[in-house]
Amino acid sequence: MCGIAGFITAPANPIELTTITKKMVDMIAHRGPDDNGVWVDENCQIALGHQRLSILDLSSAGHQPMHSACNRFVMVFNGEIYNHLEIRDKLQSTSHQLLDWQGHSDTETLLAAFVNWGIEKTLKACVGMFSIALWDRQENVLTLVRDRMGEKPLYYGWQGNTFMFASELKALKVHPDFNGEIDRQSLSLLLSFNYIPAPNSIYRGISKLPSGTFLQIPINNYQLPVNATPYWSLGEVAKKGQSQLFSGSDNQALSLLENCLGDAVEGQQLSDVPLGAFLSGGIDSSLVVSMMQTRSTQKVKTFTIGFDESQYNEAKHAKAVATHLGTEHSELYISPNDALDVIPKLPWLYDEPFADSSQIATFLVAKLARNHVKVALSGDGGDELFGGYNRHIWSRSIRNKTDWMPKSIRHGIGSVIASIPSSSWDRINNISDSLLPSQYRTVHAGEKMHKVADLLAVDNDLDLYHGLVSQWPNPSEVVIGENFIDRMKAIVPNKKNFADIEHQMMFMDAMTYLPDDILCKVDRAAMGVSLETRVPLLDHRVVDLAWKLPLHMKIRNGQGKWLLRELLFKHVPQKLVDRPKQGFGLPVASWLRGPLREWVEELIDESRLKKEGYFHPKPIRIAWNEHLQGKNRQNQLWGVLMFQAWLEENL
């Protein structure tokens, strides 16, 4: 795992360009503190920079920027190619001459493949996660690439006469041509979803390269608009999978998943440095760890953090799973002050406003793991592929129970639900939960009931999805000078792609929430402490299999991730993991009313908001007052607060 940066510009002094590039990679040194390098071409128009976190081939043979053996290509690369040794074997078997390998890094393998196979064939052959910048010295073309599911970040764009790119925005911001005008439509997207979906970024003129695409910029026309070219499409994979559904038995499906995920886990244990895994004690992380342990001759190192607040604490469950599997387990109980101390770091870590509050806990567990290992596997991706979120299960019920009602009646019912404070719904739920088996209990009931109230007037699947995930339903009421255009509808078109609404919800999550929230959260938190993270459930072969499975193998008897659960239960007793989904959260709602109250008041002071000119103060102050009175407005407020804290850092 590394950090990359570079730019194309008008011919200039090579010493000046080298200095600029060095400043850019210095800003992302945390992504790769082991080594760095800069290369500027002889025509002084393109510069490439790299910060290296040494994982495979720790020697100088892995240094970047790296040249191909024929000297045609120069590359900087962030990520891992798990099957690169297989690619080497294929290259050797098809080559007319013996390839002279200088080391055993996957970077060298990639370059040889690009030389022999070209761009698309190489990318389609790779199993891994990556962002790549490849300069073709023969054709004078720069190629930027991002992996299939969006595990590794890559920003790019034109600023003045310069085309620039980097793993993180902070590298772009030190370039003298960087402008940094805030994009108010992106700010609206942030308030809707608490993240900014690709291809948008907080800055006008700077984009995120979409997952599964590559972009080519010829140096003679580098200022012209270019379109990303897909080499892999989740939409096509999902469409094809659902049109050719697996028709075998449950046991056959279980065997297929075990083999496929097992291969992914085994491949992702490739490392020349210590490796471990995050373990929350939930379904996905427990499954990844169990499969790691069955494929390892040594005890797998596992990590979790705990909290004294019982409703947020999963450490005891993780410890039980670790004990059963026999891992070398480390846990650290975090005080509120430990968590609160992370908040001032968030604007720097996430580079653009990002408002998933579980980012705090993610950073803390990454920091714990980095004390012991350099690589950690995670269980992310299971929810999006196998129907693990409540919205995947609720969506059909909402449709069935509301479609027959006139709109006015739905509005009325919603108003009644919303009029009851979240705290009252929580008390009602606590009483009912005491009468129910554990698997049917619900956490954060008040917040979820208020979400239901917001959904009762939606008319199509896309609007239903937006209603389920949106925080501020109409950001135009909050963002000054912005007539909100929902760019999410361009990313995920409003058409029925699947026979069932559950798969429609999963697809939209995998296209947006997964890369732009979940994977972004993990990448920035882990790389902030120089830790590489890997995600076996997002191996594209697992993704292919997941989309071939019928719905009843994902959601059964009102419970998601059925097939993942069945596979896990072969390794871990059901009683250790079968409980309500908690997520990786913290008691942020109560902190906002308590130790963070002064911080909140300062950031959303009415006169300050008016002076800065981005937000209308009134709706924000209303939400804040409602929160103080017990109505949970945490998610709405957190998006505003993360922008305000980011703005303060970047003024």
Give catalytic residue positions: 2
**Residue that is written with structure tokens 């009421």 in the block:** 477
Residues 6+ positions from 312 with CB-CB distance below 8 Å: 582, 585, 586, 587
CA dihedral 574, 580, 582, 583 (to 10 degrees): 60
Query: 311: helix, coil or strand?
Result: helix
Token pair 């908040």 is found at 343
Please report the DSSP string for 167-225 in residue order: SSHHHHHTSTT----B-HHHHHHHHHHSS--TT--SBTTEEEPPTTEEEEEEGGGTTS-
Closest CA to 51 of 538, 532, 534: 532
Spatial separation of the C-alpha atoms in residues 612 and 605, rounded to whole Å: 11
Q: Are residues 456 and 411 in contact, defined by beta-carbon separation less than 8 angstroms?
A: yes
Question: Residue 403 burial by CB count (10 A; 0-12/13-18/19+): exposed, middle or buried?
Answer: exposed
640 to each of 66, 192, 472, 536, 634, how far by Cα in Å? 42, 10, 10, 33, 10
> Which amino acid is it at 443?
V
d(C-alpha 533, C-alpha 367), whole Å: 12
**Torsion sign across C-alpha atoms 22, 273, 526, 470:** positive
Calculate ∠ Cα 418-422-424, nearest 5°: 105
Q: How far is CA 493 from CA 148, 242, 391, 642, in A?
A: 20, 18, 19, 29
- 301-307 and 73-81: which strand pairing? unpaired
**Helices (DSSP H) in 341-389: which residue ranges?**
346-350, 359-370, 382-386
Burial 55-88 (b: 16+ CB within 10 A, else e): bbbeeeebbbbbbbeeeebbbbbbbbbbbbeebb
CA separation for the pair 431, 373 (Å, rounded): 44
- Kindly report the length of the chain: 651
Task: Name every residue whose Cβ is closer than 8 Å to that of residue 444 and which is 6 or more positions away in sequence.
Answer: 426
**Gap between the Cα atoms of 437 and 391, Å rounded:** 21
